[in-house]
Structure 1
Amino acid sequence: MSSKIYDVIVVGAGLSGLQTAYNVQQAGLSCIVLEARNRVGGKTWSVPLANGKGTVDIGAAWTNDTNQSHIYALTQKFGIQLLQQNTDGNCIFQDKDGETHTFPYGTSPKFTEANVTDLERIRDMIHDLSVEYGSRTGSTEDYDQMSLEQFVIAKGGSQKTIEMIRIWSRVMLGVEATELSAQYFIEYNGKGGGLKTLRSDQKGGGQYLRFRKGTQSIALNLATLLRPKSVHLSQPVTSITDTPSLVTVTTSIGLTFKSKKIILSIPTPLYQDITFSPPLSGDKLTVTTSTTLGYYSKIILCYNSPWWTSLPSGLNCCGLVISYQTPACVLRDTSMAIDGQYSLTCFITGQPGVEWSKLPQHERRSQILSQVYRLFAATQQTTEQKDEVKELVYHPVEVFEQEWTKEEFSKGAPCPVMGPGVLSSVGSKLAEKVGNMFFVGTETSDVWAGYMEGAVRSGVRGAREVVESLGGGRSVAKL
């Protein structure tokens, strides 16, 4: 048991928690961080390849240098190198019946003209509504009582459009379009500048830049700025007792820490894993029990060369694949050519991911390899070319697999979401303090919620709130 009474305890050493702790300490207050895992970074996790050729991000992976200003400032502060996402070449689309075709990057799949027009109409409608929300100039019309899929149907979306929206819901949030509030989806996009911005790989887009040494480099660098022995790893918090003058925190190994204030920097649904005294109640309890985390997994296939950029037939693919088949709904090129690291990341999300997760590991990987082969072999003309693709696909030098839903201290990714009716009921209570407890995390951010940018911004906000509650301290440090 620690006899010291700290000014602030932060629970969670992800980006939001570390940014909070840094700003609190810069304000002259004492602060420690309790982290359940044996590492810092939360859902940023960068793993080196066994052959020494670079790293892969099995968690968050992208940023930009335009409107994600806090993350970009940190990359500049720490000298972190950023490289552009590869968009050179063709994309691949696979329909429900397995029919596969390529299409130029930046265009829509080769649906019929009517289906393309409808898809772009619905896309633009959601984008415009999200931009209006983001600029606070939108109408008072609210779509929180219907799911995202019901919204698309109500707006006359075709079956092809509905199927594409299902892919967006899965890959962006890990849930089905039937489980997600339409208004939540609109506002989620609005906080990042609109649907087109979040889906974009161009400058200012959600997938524009990647980290040469991995996104976890931000957390690792932030942790070094804290005072020595500030971060306590492998300390899952099991209980929090909040009295008017003191907060007492107990971890799973029986250690006890005391502070004047506490900041929770863990996903909202995970509050249920902590015993609170007094218990959470009212709207805060509803927020905790009504937000959910989607099923989200990555399998990263690493190769000796980026063979998809120069297929046997001569076709150049940029690595972007959209599939209506299972298990993977989207593939991306996540190579770092400068380090000789060449990889395809397969996103297995939503309900198809849940079903896939029930299989033993060897079968999960077998299904992924089989799907990747079918996707790229379908672009080839001859049996010899298809056989060559098979040889390439089935010989990765390394395979990484991360099921975030099975990770004890995440239980899903990328961030908590809200089903129909929740946002309008208690959405405003996400960041609301309770007693001496303050709450941060990417889902609480008004800007780029669900992203690293949102996490850091929430940390800045949480530090400001707790410092002010303690009488101000020194002025909170800027990035």
Structure 2
Amino acid sequence: MFDLLVVGAGLSGLQAALSAQQAGLTVAVIEARDRVGGKIWSVPLASGRGYADLGGAWINKSLQKRVGAYVDKFGLKTVVQRLEGKAVMQQAPGERFEFPFGVTPSDFSPEEKKSLEMVRDHIQAESLKPGPPRLEDDNVSLDQYVRDLGALPGTIKMVNIWAQVMHGLDSTEYSAAWFIDYCRKNRGLLAIRADDASGGQHLRFRDGAQSLATNIAALVGAPNIHLSSPVTSITDHGSYTSITTTTGQTFTGRKTIISIPSTMYKELNIQPPLPPRLQAITNATTLGDYNKAIVCYDRPWWREHGFNGYFASYVGPVILARDTSVDEVGNYCLTCFVNGKPGRGWGRLRAHERRAAVLAQLAQIFGHEEEVYKPIEFFDQIWQAERYSRGALAPITALGHLVEYVDVYGRAVGNLHFVGTEYSPEWKGYMEGAICSGEVGAGEVVQALKGRERANL
């Protein structure tokens, strides 16, 4: 029998296992996939020029202390997010304009700029206030919230892009309280939106973000991580827990940490069943339509024309893109986010249709079709279709649920504990948040086991 069983080898699960080991506990990590990392997944380019990050990619070494410490510990190389050059805003089919990156788009009218800045500053101020989410904000959608502030139509559309980019849902589909609380846990709206040293998109990993997960997994130890082992049942026997996998293995442990998105709890056979109130909130959480298309070229041709690779679009299917090149290895890529409602339709297309739609939009945005239509590689990832993720980034609670079920959400039940970036008190939705939650969950287990007889393998 182990002291602790961990379901899921994403960053939360790996950190929970490592923290438990460091406290002297014996651990087994059980992972359905054939790899570690969860929604952190880096795939090699056929050209040999590095990796494409199909999942999480951005960090801030100075603001995210845990990730920063690991970067130093493992000697991982990072790349600063490139900002130099013009950005593009696509307002409608055939309508686009260029503007200096980092400012309110220049072609917005004075009234639209004032409206956008009013809403931005209001949400920033609310997200810097300490305290729990407000019930009245949890009972209205983000869309209705900004309308009630008097936002103009252009601002309403821009807030919808924020929602799509950040969470893979439209602003009509989740509560203002969830959005504001997410910002609160991430140093405010401006820090989430920023691509410079003040925000969450400052750095990327030169050799792919999964290098972080693989290095943490090495500390846990390969013999302690059981890959390709989907869980069929989890049972809390009162004095211990047991887990059975599709491979026919059975693991026993004094405690179990479940490190998968809460949206997927209902797919597990947990006995005895989770309490009704916990089922009520987790059965209703939603994972966003969060998709990536990564287009790789022989050279960064967009820079030659004065662009920095960033654009936003009300049209879609791509709603936002960034330059994610790693120049020192000759990896020149544009990462395109195809999220929210546009992502749902795009995700149902066949592979060649998805590629054609993205390239056609890049041609509309940047022109220079002769260069746009000659990528050397093209990747796409539809996280809703990924069996063991079912979407990204973090599960989002139903309207009114964040406040109503605060007493049970993420709380331990008997010998079962829950971790994941959705529960993190800081940098929720980021790698830092996943690691933070893993630490917290392991601490709960260590504290609960104090004074109890140790497990014998």
TM tier, smaller: over 0.9
CA contact (8 A) 1:81 1:211 kept: yes
1:344 matched to 2:355? The reply is no
**What is the alpha-carbon distance in structure 2 between the residues aligned to residue 218 and residue 429 of structure 1?**
31
1:356 matched to 2:346? The reply is yes
**What is the alpha-carbon distance in structure 1 between the residues aligned to residue 169 and residue 451 of structure 2?**
41
Displacement, 1:431? 1.8
Greater displacement, 250-259 / 363-372: 250-259
Equivalent of residue 376 in structure 1, options 329, 346, 366: 366
1:76 matched to 2:72? The reply is yes
**What is the alpha-carbon distance in structure 1 between the residues aligned to residue 221 and residue 205 of structure 2?**
26
Q: Secondary structure at the match of 2:16?
A: helix
Q: Which residue of structure 1 lines up, in the alignment, with residue 119 of structure 2?
A: 122
Deviations 1:339-391 (A, max 9, x none): 100000110011111111121111111111100111111xxxxxxxxxxx111
CA contact (8 A) 1:65 1:204 kept: no
**What is the alpha-carbon distance in structure 2 between the residues aligned to residue 11 and residue 461 of structure 1?**
16
Equivalent of residue 446 in structure 1, options 425, 434, 448: 425
1:7 matched to 2:3? The reply is yes
Equivalent of residue 198 in structure 1, options 179, 192, 198: 192
Displacement, 1:228? 4.5
**What is the alpha-carbon distance in structure 1 between the residues aligned to residue 297 and residue 278 of structure 2?**
47
CA contact (8 A) 2:133 2:177 kept: no
CA contact (8 A) 1:14 1:41 kept: yes
CA contact (8 A) 1:430 1:439 kept: no
1:263 matched to 2:237? The reply is no
CA contact (8 A) 1:65 1:203 kept: no
Q: Percent identity?
A: 45
Greater displacement, 220-229 / 16-25: 220-229
Displacement, 1:424? 0.9
CA contact (8 A) 2:291 2:380 kept: yes
Q: Which amino acid aligns with 1:343?
A: C
**What is the alpha-carbon distance in structure 2 between the residues aligned to residue 247 and residue 66 of structure 1?**
39
Q: Secondary structure at the match of 2:366?
A: helix
RMSD of Structure 2 on Structure 1 (CA): 1.4
Displacement, 1:141? 7.4
**What is the alpha-carbon distance in structure 2 between the residues aligned to residue 95 and residue 176 of structure 1?**
17
Q: Which amino acid aligns with 2:375?
A: P
Deviations 1:148-198 (A, max 9, x none): 000011000000000001111011000110111101100000100000000
**What is the alpha-carbon distance in structure 2 between the residues aligned to residue 419 and residue 284 of structure 1?**
13
Deviations 1:273-324 (A, max 9, x none): 101111112221112112110111101000000111012xxxx111110011
CA contact (8 A) 2:133 2:178 kept: no
The 1:310/1:427 distance shift into structure 2, 3 A limit, reads farther
The runs of 5 or more residues in structure 2 that have no matched partner are 453-457
Aligned 1:418-437 pairs, distance under 5 A: 418-437=397-416
Q: Which amino acid aligns with 1:263?
A: I
CA contact (8 A) 1:84 1:209 kept: yes
Q: How many residues align?
A: 451
CA contact (8 A) 1:98 1:325 kept: no
Displacement, 1:96? 2.5
**What is the alpha-carbon distance in structure 1 between the residues aligned to residue 135 and residue 447 of structure 2?**
36
**What is the alpha-carbon distance in structure 2 between the residues aligned to residue 9 and residue 186 of structure 1?**
34
**What is the alpha-carbon distance in structure 2 between the residues aligned to residue 199 and residue 22 of structure 1?**
31
1:286 matched to 2:280? The reply is yes
Deviations 1:27-70 (A, max 9, x none): 11110100010000011111111111111111001011222111
Displacement, 1:142? 4.0
CA contact (8 A) 2:134 2:177 kept: no
**What is the alpha-carbon distance in structure 1 between the residues aligned to residue 388 and residue 301 of structure 2?**
36
**What is the alpha-carbon distance in structure 2 between the residues aligned to residue 180 and residue 35 of structure 1?**
30
1:244 matched to 2:238? The reply is yes
The 1:273/1:344 distance shift into structure 2, 3 A limit, reads same
Displacement, 1:139? 9.7
Displacement, 1:468? 1.0
1:24 matched to 2:20? The reply is yes
The runs of 5 or more residues in structure 1 that have no matched partner are 378-388, 474-479
